[in-house]
């Protein structure tokens, strides 16, 4: 599978630019996992952490699901990997497979894209129960970019430890 990662427009509008940066970071996470076996994707960083590349994919599926489906979309959907609504549980991918994790993540990304595209504007707001306040779609997109960027830094180190690949 070849991952297409397209840079953001140099002179696009705000929404187009936010969308492009978010997709760029989504593609970066997929690229960091490309060409690895399930065992390599499950390789944990160091005890006691359960962090792995596959765990990051699972975590980002939960994060996409929360911000776009639960918050902006107002859906009452459960967590994928936690009955306790604990984002940390997704990191433990010790019994997970590429197929299981990536299918869930890609489904959530597609759902997130639909929610964003159907929103009238970046000014759309919804209540975030965890923060106890209304948040805008603009904030959600910025938060998601930050979330992916931070975790893609983790993915850089995890991938380098597996096979020495760096960059991109």
The tens digit of pLDDT for each residue in 148-161 reads 999 999 999 999 99
- Percent above pLDDT 70 for the chain: 98
**Can you name the CATH fold of 14-163?**
1.20.120
> Taking 70 as the threshold, does the pLDDT of residue 136 lie above it?
yes
Give the separation between CA 49 and CA 136, rounded to whole angstroms.
33
Confidence at residue 88, expressed as pLDDT on a 0 to 100 scale: 85
How far is residue 32 from each of residues 55, 96, 134, 140, 160, measured CA to CA in Å?
13, 17, 34, 24, 9
Stated length of the chain: 168
Contacts of 99 (CB under 8 A, 6+ apart): none
The tens digit of pLDDT for each residue in 31-83 reads 999 999 999 999 999 888 899 999 999 999 999 999 999 999 999 999 999 88
**C-alpha dihedral, 30 to 36 to 38 to 42, nearest 10°:** -70
What pTM value is reported for the model?
A: 0.94
Arithmetic mean of pLDDT, 122-128 = 96
């Amino acid at each position: 599978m070849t991952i297409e990662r397209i840079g953001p427009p140099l002179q696009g509008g705000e929404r187009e630019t936010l969308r492009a940066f978010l997709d760029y970071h989504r593609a970066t996470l997929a690229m960091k996992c490309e060409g690895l076996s399930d065992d390599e994707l499950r390789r944990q960083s160091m005890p006691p952490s359960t962090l792995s590349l596959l765990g990051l994919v699972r975590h980002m599926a939960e994060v996409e699901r929360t911000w776009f489906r639960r918050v902006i979309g107002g859906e009452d959907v459960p967590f994928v990997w936690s009955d306790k609504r604990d984002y940390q549980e997704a990191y433990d991918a010790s019994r997970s497979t590429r197929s299981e994790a990536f299918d869930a993540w890609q489904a959530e990304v597609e759902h997130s894209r639909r929610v964003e595209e159907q929103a009238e504007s970046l000014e759309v707001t919804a209540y975030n129960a965890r923060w106890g306040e209304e948040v805008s779609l603009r904030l959600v997109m910025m938060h998601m970019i930050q979330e992916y960027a931070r975790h893609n830094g983790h993915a850089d180190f995890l991938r380098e430890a597996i096979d020495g690949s760096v960059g991109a």
